[in-house]
Amino acid sequence: MGRRSRGRRLQQQQQQRPGSAEDGGKRNGAGWEGGYPEIVKENKLFEHYYQELKIVPEGEWDQFMGALREPLPATLRITGYKSHAKEILHCLKNKYFKELEDLEVDGQKVEVPQPLSWYPEELAWHTNLSRKILRKSPQLEKFHQFLVSETESGNISRQEAVSMIPPLLLNAHPHHKILDMCAAPGSKTTQLIEMLHADMNVPFPEGFVIANDVDNKRCYLLVHQAKRLGSPCIMVVNHDASCIPRLQVDVNGRKEVLFYDRILCDVPCSGDGTMRKNIDVWKKWSTLNSLQLHGLQLRIATRGAEQLVEGGRMVYSTCSLNPIEDEAVIASLLEKSEGALELADVSSELPGLKWVPGLSQWKVMTKDGQWFASWDDVPHNRHTQIRPTMFPPKDPEKLQAMHLERCLRILPHHQNTGGFFVAVLVKNSSMPWNKRPPKLQGEPAELRAPVPPSPAEPMAGCTSNTSELESKLAPGISDTGAVERAENVDDSGSKRDGVCGPPPSKKMKLFGFKEDPFVFIPEDDPLFPPIQKFYALDPSFPKANLLTRTTEGKKRQLYMVSKELRNVLLNNSERMKVINTGIKVWCRNNSGEEFDCAFRLAQEGIYTLYPFINSRIITVSIEDVQVLLTQENPFFRKLSSEAYSQVKDMAKGSVVLKYEPDPTKPDTLQCPIVLCGWRGKASVRTFVPRNERLHYLRMMGLEVPVGKKREGAAAVPGAASPAEPEDGPGVGSPMEPEDRPGAASPVEPEDGPGAGSPAEQEDGAGAEQEAGPNASSGGDPAEAGLPR
């Protein structure tokens, strides 16, 4: 009876709901709300607060509030990392955007997307289409599928316009060491990675990005975002940003403190600039959030300034409009830096961007509406909630010298965006507390150099490691000249060479997953010579940068990092918790020894690896690429005569398929393509993830329906579909970690052994069943029940 009565109640609710079958399924004027009551976009306290602070220019208040009540436009960014960016832009402008002309959805005319005027090279676009309409409108289905597929491939990022600003103002170059202090979910991090790889002809830039987040689960989302770009120069770590450890690197045999050239400090905030997309903020907003977050924001910014190199640049940003989280943090940081930091004038760096200058005067308001103009006015019982750093400096000369007007506040009504705040800081000298003499044995606590306190230390010893390093600075030595003596800090006596394990379990008890170690391949490892011979690797190949994620048993996956990140890993394994680093370049075959090499190439790292490979390369035409991407196992004869002559005498095994554009044929694809493949007895196949396959086909002007299988795939028992590409003989799909038993997390693409990933099962029975009955014996796609 209980089940029936629940069913009747549910039926009655559906009949009473507006927009149901009773009114012919018509949607109300609110549009796409699904019949739920609309949240009232009113908050009198919010309006009173910001009108009093005068953050909006005179006469613009109504436009400001009107913009906040409108839904946020959808924006997308074409990644400049790959050389395919121009091709994607060409495809968007000449195909998808043209199809949107004169289109109406629910009586609303669809505006053709327009480029953001201030973003370089027309690589960022905005449209009046909300995400909800994009998902649900049948007329926009093809455009939505394109966005989803290209986002998964890492070629497009759907990112809010204002969040693109901080990485641009960071002005990063390929040789810069970059720290992203509060990185998740990772859209800004991907921008920084793109900047490192500005020159695609350089597989290993000198710089790197260390992306940090305090939330262990969000770190895996960060890994997922970063993995799409396939860079060997990214490391994801898990620390409280306010006490992130000071790292060290080996420089000519001595340990030196690592200082960063660029630091992005996009701190946690109350988020009242996001009201257009997070409409809950309307009813939940109060000044209490800002008052509670101010201290943490200041500690994070201070820690960032400490780790910045002299002459380096740090960008502080929030998606809040509140000066307590914005100018108050900057003013306090500048005051305590005693001239070591200054605000940079970036007014001309993004032409076309509209902004208003930072405030130089503001007041503090409690959640119940009580105002305080200075710290002297605050009663004693409020001292725990309101702090002196929340007020502007009293001294007018000191205040003027700070140039707070150089801060940028972006208001929603100026360019139809969210609200945002950015400040760019440059470091002229070391922070004052880093110049003080080191503490002596038994020195009283009150005489020691202050260390910013942390609200919560996720790792025991986090602050002690920092103070231990800083205490070894000689009197008067600037922090950029700090040198760690190897004998004083060498804590690797009990470790094996090249093994970078996680911190001791005692330090990790507040964290989530325990990560596998990072083990660099020894110089004399017998595993490497067959690989070097099979692929005729160039002598310049940096084999010392190869690593695995296991210390025991067969090495199933080989990853690669840049030389600089290898240095960081080897010297800091006890200081930091690394979630992920490196790019997968080789995977073990079940029967690889039969093909002279136990390892096949991985598509994820092929653009990094390709410059060093001198053998197993097949040059293909644009027609060959189309055949390889649309047919499951094309015979050699289906390829062009040039490709056929290269492949027919080649030994079985992993191959590189390279397409070079023909500049004399401008109508054809004008970007190079490198694919991983397998040369069987009589056929060739590609090992390319589904979304990447669709990407290449779109760039060639072909539109493949989402559900369509590659030619010949449907008739093949046990063959992988395009959505789940069989990624090597006897190996399961790399695209489906979340669908496999024991998978760690749907957003955790790390597939090193022990991480609960496909690598654990690659050589097991489950993998054999997926790849076909004969996969384990022959390893040839043509033999594994696939067409010859």
Catalytically annotated residues: 319
- Phi first, then psi, for residue 614 (nearest 5°) are -115, 0
**What are the φ/ψ torsions at residue 40 (nearest 5 degrees)?**
-75, 120
The answer to whether residues 151 and 158 touch, using CB atoms and an 8 Å cutoff, is yes
Cβ pair 691, 743 in contact under 8 A: no
Check if the beta carbon of residue 233 is closer than 8 Å to that of residue 209: yes
For β-strands 234-237 and 208-212, DSSP reports them as parallel
Distance between CA atoms of residues 319 and 294, nearest Å = 14
- Tell me the helix, strand and coil percentages in the chain, rounded to 5: 35, 15, 50
**The sheet that has 254-257: what strands, in order across it?**
248-251, 254-257, 483-484
Q: Is the peptide bond before 185 cis (omega within 30 degrees of 0)?
A: yes
- Nearest-angstrom CA–CA distance, 92 and 78: 10
Strand arrangement, sheet containing 156-157:
114-115, 124-127, 74-78, 156-157
Rounded CA-CA distance 364/357 in Å is 19
Rounded CA separation 37/246 (Å)? 50
- Beta strands 254-257 and 124-127, pairing class: unpaired
- The DSSP annotation for 88-128 comes to HHHHIIIIIHHHTTT-EETTEEPPPPEE-TTSGGG-EEEES
Contact, 357 vs 407, CB < 8 A?
yes
Report how far apart, in Å, the C-alpha atoms of 592 and of each of 171, 713, 777 are. 45, 24, 11
Find where tokens 């880093």 sit.
434
CA distances from 14 to 25, 406, 408 (A): 12, 55, 48
Give the pair of three-digit tokens for residue 358: 């930072």
